[in-house]
């Protein structure tokens, strides 16, 4: 992607392909002028279909609000900024879905754009995506509710305050994902969020660009909630050996083993750009000291690597994570890897994970006739 300079001196992929611009915006970090981001979309190459869809919804601020611009009540979009470090990633195809669903822009769909003054700049903490969408439809200004930071606050304190407001305004909305709330909480310095970030970084994992590094390769994490549960020891994925009947888990994966498992995965599947939290949990459980006679991490890594790469087609992370027993994510992957790949004893695995015979038979590859036992009454997760 070829960077070009916009009028504020920052490097943006102006004039690059529409696909590159989508990817760039989805991974964006830092503070940005909203109209600069809109310009990237409008001036992208190969964006004819997108512009054609937008054309149906072109309007003006005067038409939407039924009045003229009032500097006391409104904010010019060209003067609006956003801090992506606590905002959701900008997914520009979602704007078309919103416009189609509402049949265009209306005053009610925009609601009030909430902004706050940082020195001479207005930062939109609630309504960033609505501002981008409005600008794409031709609007120049939006109704605002603006406050001013108290005197004496540092830039970092301002960002923490704004990110807390963002969480308050958005956390109760059904469409906000757990990782999006977590991203804002990192900026707010919420202890639990920072703890999750610490272990993501140690595991060379990234979520929403928060842990991206220019110095070493990071892989995107699939299954953020699972990873968060394991690190914070809370939630439905926090432990194992619970037998799936609503009993509390008797064992939990160790945090250092979570890191080791992630690094192991990056070596077993070196070409993958993502890492599954389900596989992390399964491998980490097999490193637990309660499993007597288990292999070392290096031995496990070598055997699993040989297994997945010598098969045709190669075994993927998805292959090992699919068809998990409901409520038994860690146990499902642990048994599947432990028995089918590492050759661990069936009875020892069953006792370690607290599973019954029917649950075990759902997970292992057996040559005997008992593999045909009817186990369809157990629910599985695809």
Cβ contact 71:79 at 8 Å: no
CB 154 within 8 A of CB 161: no
Q: What is the DSSP string of 126-148?
A: E-HHHHHHHHHTT--EEEEEEEE
Q: Percentage of residues in the chain with pLDDT exceeding 70?
A: 86
Instruction: Print the domain residue range for 84.
Output: 4-189
Beta-bridge partners for 339:
none
144 and 224 belong to one structural domain: no
Domain assignment present for 194: no
Q: Within a domain: residue 127?
A: yes
Tens-place pLDDT, residues 68-98: 999 999 999 999 999 988 888 888 888 888 8
Q: What is the pLDDT of residues 165-180, one digit of tens each?
A: 877 776 655 467 899 8
Say which residues have a Cβ less than 8 Å from residue 117's Cβ, sequence separation at least 6. Answer: 123, 146, 147, 148, 149
Share of the chain above pLDDT 90, in %: 45
Count other C-beta atoms under 10 Å from residue 246's C-beta.
7
Residues 230 and 346 reside in one and the same domain: yes
Mean confidence (pLDDT) of the chain: 84
Q: How far is CA 175 from the centre of its chain?
A: 13
Specify whether 145 is located in the same domain as 282: no
287-321 tens-digit pLDDT: 999 887 789 999 999 999 999 988 888 999 999 99
Number of structural domains found in the chain = 2
- In this prediction, residue 375 carries a pLDDT of 32
Over 50: is that where the pLDDT of 7 sits? no
pLDDT (tens digit per residue) in 38-67: 999 998 988 999 999 999 999 999 999 999
Q: Is 109 found in the same domain as 223?
A: no
Structure token digits, residue 341: 């790949």
Buried b (16+ CB within 10 A) or exposed e, 322-339: eebbebbbbbbbbbbbbb
**Per-residue pLDDT averaged across 321-328, rounded?**
88
Instruction: Examine the domain organization and report whether 230 and 156 are in the same domain.
Output: no
Distance CA 81, CA 53 (A): 26
CB 74 within 8 A of CB 142: yes
Does residue 367 sit in the same domain as residue 302? yes
pTM, full prediction: 0.63
For residues 242 and 182, state if they share a domain: no
Contact at 8 Å (CB) between 25 and 40?
yes
At residue 248 the predicted structure's pLDDT band, cuts being 50, 70 and 90, is low
Both 236 and 129 in one domain: the answer is no
Same domain? For 37 and 159 the reply is yes
Same domain, 94 and 119: yes
- Do 245 and 138 have their domain in common? no
In a domain, 197, yes or no: no
pLDDT at 6: 52
Range in 6-10, 225-229, 318-322, 339-343 with the lowest mean pLDDT = 6-10
- Residue where a domain stops, chosen among 189, 213, 235: 189
């Amino acid at each position: 992607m070829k960077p070009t300079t916009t009028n504020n001196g920052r490097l943006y992929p102006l004039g690059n392909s529409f696909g590159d611009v989508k990817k760039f915006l989805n991974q964006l970090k830092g503070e940005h002028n909203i109209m600069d981001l809109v310009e990237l979309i409008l001036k992208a190459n190969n964006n004819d279909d997108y512009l054609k869809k937008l054309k149906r919804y072109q309007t003006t601020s005067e038409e939407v609000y039924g009045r003229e611009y009032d500097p006391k009540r409104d904010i010019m979009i060209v003067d609006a900024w956003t801090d992506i470090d606590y905002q959701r990633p900008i997914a520009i195809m979602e704007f078309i879905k919103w416009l189609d669903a509402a049949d265009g822009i209306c005053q009610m769909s925009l609601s009030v754009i909430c902004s706050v003054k940082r020195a001479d700049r207005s930062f939109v903490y609630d309504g960033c995506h609505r501002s981008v969408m409005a600008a794409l439809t031709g609007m120049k200004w939006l109704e605002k509710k603006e406050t001013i930071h108290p005197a004496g606050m540092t830039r970092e304190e301002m960002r923490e305050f704004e990110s807390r407001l963002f969480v308050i305004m958005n956390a109760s909305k059904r469409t906000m994902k757990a990782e999006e709330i977590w991203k804002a909480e990192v900026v707010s310095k919420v202890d639990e969020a920072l703890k999750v970030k610490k272990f993501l970084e140690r595991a060379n994992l990234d979520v929403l660009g928060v842990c991206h590094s220019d110095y070493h390769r990071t892989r995107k994490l699939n299954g953020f909630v699972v990873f968060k549960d394991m690190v914070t020891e809370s939630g439905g994925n926090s432990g194992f050996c619970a037998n799936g009947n609503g009993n509390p888990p008797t064992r939990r994966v160790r945090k250092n083993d979570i890191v080791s498992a992630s690094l192991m995965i990056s070596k077993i599947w070196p070409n993958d750009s993502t890492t599954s939290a389900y596989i992390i949990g399964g491998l980490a459980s097999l490193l637990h000291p309660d499993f007597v006679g288990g292999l070392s991490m290096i031995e496990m890594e070598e055997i699993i690597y040989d297994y997945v790469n010598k098969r045709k087609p190669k075994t993927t992370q998805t292959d090992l994570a699919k068809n998990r027993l409901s409520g038994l994510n860690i146990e499902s992957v642990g048994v599947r890897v432990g028995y089918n790949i590492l050759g661990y004893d069936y009875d020892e695995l069953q006792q370690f994970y607290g599973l019954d015979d029917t649950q075990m038979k759902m997970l292992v590859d057996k040559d005997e006739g008992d593999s045909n036992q009817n186990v369809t009454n157990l629910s599985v997760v695809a």
